Chain A
Amino acid sequence: MADPVLFAADPNPEIASGITESRPARWGLMAIAFIFLTLFLVLPLVLVFMEASRKGLGYFFETLGEPDTLSAIQLTLLVAAISVPLNLVFGVAAAWAIAKFEFKGKAFLTTLVDLPFSVSPVISGLVYVLLFGAQSALGPWLKANGIEILFAVPGIVLATIFVTFPFVARELIPLMEEQGTGDEEAAISLGANGWQTFWYVTLPNIKWGLLYGVLLCNARAMGEFGAVSVVSGHIRGQTNTMPLHVEILYNEYNAAGAFAVASLLAGLALVTLALKTLLEMRYGAEIAATRGH
């Protein structure tokens, strides 16, 4: 394995060959990694934009301008605008209770927060069908009172909240646990009330971690497919979100249309990744507790 010629510049070739791979091995590993990433990540992403522009920009904008597409975009924005803030408030409240206090059952509560991540998205939708569907105990009552949850916007919002539930909380809990309670105790002892303590002391400490969690939560909320697919009923122009609209267009053999809508979602993913990387680069220390496990 040792290759003294290649390590000629190194003061001690024997040691160098022991603490790093030989040059052919390094090139080989890098080639494997790059080919793998190209096949599974780069090509699919490039393909989305290529296919979207295949029939020309005219067709691209025509698809995006269709009433069904516009209503799907609106619904996706609406669902994210409701579910992300709710999960944000929950995440901050749960992290405050879990990270700033010692109480019985804390570990169990933390496990419950992560629960939706281990549930298949399809099951996340199914539980609401079982709860509010026509066959359920609530179903006839809801119908009699004209309340629509399933196959309507409330069901889509509920399923999205379920799926994106842990994102903000799981970013904040380790971060706030790491920061401890010293700053808050100092603020309280200096006469600040609870709200002032949160607003002027805690929030500035967690703002980048919070933004990081919201970013990931939003990406998932706008892109969720399985859970929403179960509860939406796929009514064109009414209960179709963007990912569902992609599916409909694709199944109608309108690949260029499907990829046009998909390219918007892929653009959202790229913006999310760029912001996420920026946050990690600039504020790595302030969101450090969220990296790794």
Chain B
Amino acid sequence: MTTASAQAGWRFKKPSVIPGFGLTLGFALVYLTLIILIPLSGLAWRSASLGWTDFWAIATDRRTINALKISFGTALAAAAVNVVFGTIVAWVLVRYPFPGRRIVDAMVDLPFALPTAVAGIALTTLYAPKGWIGILLAPLGIKIAYTPVGIIVALVFIGLPFVVRTVQPIIEEIDKEVEEAAATLGATRWQTIARVLFPGLAPAIVTGFALAFARGVGEYGSVIFIAGNLPNVSEIAPLLIIIRLEEFNYPAATAIAAIMLVISFAMLLVINLLQAWSRKRYG
């Protein structure tokens, strides 16, 4: 079949006896174009028609730059927190049998299932100065809700399952014999973890970090309640887009969205390259 089609020259599709290719591909393409591609290219077209001077003026506006810095900075910090604790959670879930493990494992997906607005008001109430956790921290002079730290708390919640669910299957796949070999050759447990196990987990950890980071940058619902939303201090980029829209300042909303999208797509590319690289290297 392969050689036959190669002899026949360039072909869009390999021959197959299964019907329905035209119908399903056609429907999928039309739907994709109408729902995703046309609206997104509308955004691209609108930001391109802004002109470079206008675009640059919006992009270098102090409030815009600060909002982007806050969004990307807090997402970075939250992803870093999640890498540490998410990996520990994944390790505990795979390696240490304990009663109720199935329930704890299911709970990890809560941020995927719980609407972001619900998470937002719950975390705010919890970490506010009079909340269950906030009241313990208040005497120490630590404020979480209505500060940038609050944004990080919300993004840690949102990003946790990305790290756990990326790292967990890789820990499950680790061949115990590798650890036994390291141990019989005289490695301490710490050496085995650092030199044998960690290199195998590193690509998954990096991917989990990138996924949590990408999700955190665009997150809106869980953040706006806890952030306090002070311009230049705790105002995230998606909120600034909404504020500009409410002011009918469409060029500014469009430009900020375009900047965020370009950075997000660059990150998507990096994630895909990382995954391809880790698959190639670790099969």
Q: Which residues of B contact A40 (CB under 8 A)?
A: 153, 156-157, 160
Question: In the complex, what residue of chain B is closest to A271 when comparing beta carbons?
Answer: B113
Are A222 and B115 in contact, with the CB atoms below 8 A? Answer: yes
> Is A129 among interface residues, defined by CB-CB distance under 8 A?
yes
Q: B117 is contacted by which of A17, A25, A89, A225 (Cβ under 8 Å)?
A: A225
A48–B245 alpha-carbon span in the complex (Å): 31
**Inter-chain pairs besides A158-B35, A292-B168, 14 sampled, C-beta below 8 Å:** A33-B91, A41-B108, A48-B118, A93-B31, A100-B18, A100-B20, A101-B16, A103-B12, A103-B13, A119-B218, A129-B250, A135-B248, A223-B118, A262-B117
Are A33 and B110 in contact, with the CB atoms below 8 A? Answer: no
Are A45 and B104 in contact, with the CB atoms below 8 A? Answer: no
Are A181 and B16 in contact, with the CB atoms below 8 A? Answer: yes
Are A162 and B242 in contact, with the CB atoms below 8 A? Answer: no
B contacts with A: majority SS: helix
Are B125 and A255 in contact, with the CB atoms below 8 A? Answer: yes
> Is B21 among interface residues, defined by CB-CB distance under 8 A?
yes
Q: Which residues of A contact B17 (CB under 8 A)?
A: 185, 188-189
Encoded as 1 (CB less than 8 Å from any B CB) or 0, chain A from 164 to 203 comes to 0100000000000000010011001100011001100000
> Is A235 among interface residues, defined by CB-CB distance under 8 A?
no
Q: A197 is contacted by which of B18, B119, B188, B260 (Cβ under 8 Å)?
A: B18
A266 to chain B, nearest CB (A): 6
Q: Which residues of B contact A81 (CB under 8 A)?
A: none
A215–B283 alpha-carbon span in the complex (Å): 30
A130–B268 alpha-carbon span in the complex (Å): 24
Are B114 and A269 in contact, with the CB atoms below 8 A? Answer: yes
Q: A266 is contacted by which of B118, B153, B237 (Cβ under 8 Å)?
A: B118
Question: In the complex, what residue of chain B is closest to A261 when comparing beta carbons?
Answer: B118
- What is the interface residue range for chain A against chain B? 35 or more
Q: Which residues of B contact A79 (CB under 8 A)?
A: none
Are B40 and A127 in contact, with the CB atoms below 8 A? Answer: yes
- What is the interface residue range for chain B against chain A? 35 or more
> Is B60 among interface residues, defined by CB-CB distance under 8 A?
no
A92–B23 alpha-carbon span in the complex (Å): 12
> Is B198 among interface residues, defined by CB-CB distance under 8 A?
no
A272–B107 alpha-carbon span in the complex (Å): 11
A193 to chain B, nearest CB (A): 7
> Is A293 among interface residues, defined by CB-CB distance under 8 A?
yes
Q: Which residues of B contact A145 (CB under 8 A)?
A: none
A25–B190 alpha-carbon span in the complex (Å): 11
Q: A184 is contacted by which of B18, B117, B188 (Cβ under 8 Å)?
A: B18
A195 to chain B, nearest CB (A): 8
Are A250 and B95 in contact, with the CB atoms below 8 A? Answer: no
> Is B281 among interface residues, defined by CB-CB distance under 8 A?
no
Interface residues of A in 247-279 (CB under 8 A from B): 247, 250, 255, 258-259, 262, 265-266, 268-270, 272-274, 276-277
Q: B179 is contacted by which of A19, A22, A112, A229 (Cβ under 8 Å)?
A: A19
Are A93 and B13 in contact, with the CB atoms below 8 A? Answer: no
Encoded as 1 (CB less than 8 Å from any A CB) or 0, chain B from 25 to 37 comes to 1011101100111
Are A118 and B156 in contact, with the CB atoms below 8 A? Answer: no
A226 and B220 in contact, given A43-B132, A188-B19, A292-B169 (Cβ under 8 angstroms): yes
> Is A44 among interface residues, defined by CB-CB distance under 8 A?
yes
Nearest 9 A/B pairs, CB to CB: A18-B183, A120-B218, A223-B115, A292-B169, A225-B221, A194-B19, A226-B220, A127-B39, A44-B122
> Is B38 among interface residues, defined by CB-CB distance under 8 A?
yes
Q: Which residues of A contact B27 (CB under 8 A)?
A: 89-90, 93
Q: Which residues of A contact B42 (CB under 8 A)?
A: 127, 130-131, 136
Are B260 and A123 in contact, with the CB atoms below 8 A? Answer: yes
Interface residues of A in 3-43 (CB under 8 A from B): 14-15, 17-22, 25-26, 29-30, 32-33, 36-37, 39-43
Are A129 and B85 in contact, with the CB atoms below 8 A? Answer: no
Are A225 and B43 in contact, with the CB atoms below 8 A? Answer: no
> Is A60 among interface residues, defined by CB-CB distance under 8 A?
no
A62 to chain B, nearest CB (A): 19
Q: Which residues of B contact A19 (CB under 8 A)?
A: 176, 179-180, 183, 189, 192
Q: A36 is contacted by which of B88, B219, B242 (Cβ under 8 Å)?
A: B88
> Is A209 among interface residues, defined by CB-CB distance under 8 A?
no
> Is B64 among interface residues, defined by CB-CB distance under 8 A?
no
B133 to chain A, nearest CB (A): 7
